[in-house]
């Protein structure tokens, strides 16, 4: 059985995915830069205490609270949102790959890409000890 000729060639799909990656990285960099500038305006004049490590506060360790902090224009929340965007970029690439393979009716690649997407999403949101 012949495959239908599709507008979704390999080159077009690769071009679209490359643009998605560039846009995601540029957007996350801009958000992190904005948060970094805000952070330096708030706390840049003080002397850093580097002898004790302080991780992120508990409210900046979950997606929803990070979004809330960023919407409240808290500098650390904005930086964390930029990091989340950076993490989401390759996941979005895999999701768009599924759509591209569906449009091309390439069922083997749809199946493999869905498995990869499932593993990525589980590793991101699954419960870890």
| 17 Cα distance to chain centroid | 14
pLDDT at position 129: 52
What number of other Cβ atoms are within 10 A of residue 8's Cβ?
A: 16
Structure tokens at 89: 């970029």
Q: How many residues does the chain have?
A: 129
* Run means of pLDDT, 10 residues per run, the chain, 129 residues: 59 87 95 94 76 76 85 91 92 91 89 94 71
pLDDT at position 89: 92
């Amino acid at each position: 059985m012949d495959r239908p000729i599709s507008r979704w060639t390999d080159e077009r799909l690769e071009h679209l995915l490359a643009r998605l990656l560039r846009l995601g990285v540029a957007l996350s960099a801009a958000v992190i830069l904005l948060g970094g500038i805000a952070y330096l305006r708030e706390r840049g004049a003080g002397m850093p205490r580097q002898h004790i490590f302080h991780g992120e506060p508990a409210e900046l360790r979950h997606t929803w609270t990070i979004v809330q902090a960023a919407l409240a224009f808290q500098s650390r929340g904005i930086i964390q949102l930029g990091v989340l965007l950076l993490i989401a970029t390759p996941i979005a690439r895999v999701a768009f790959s599924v759509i591209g393979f569906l449009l091309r009716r390439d069922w083997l690649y749809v199946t493999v890409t869905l498995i990869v997407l499932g593993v990525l999403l589980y590793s991101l949101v699954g419960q870890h000890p």
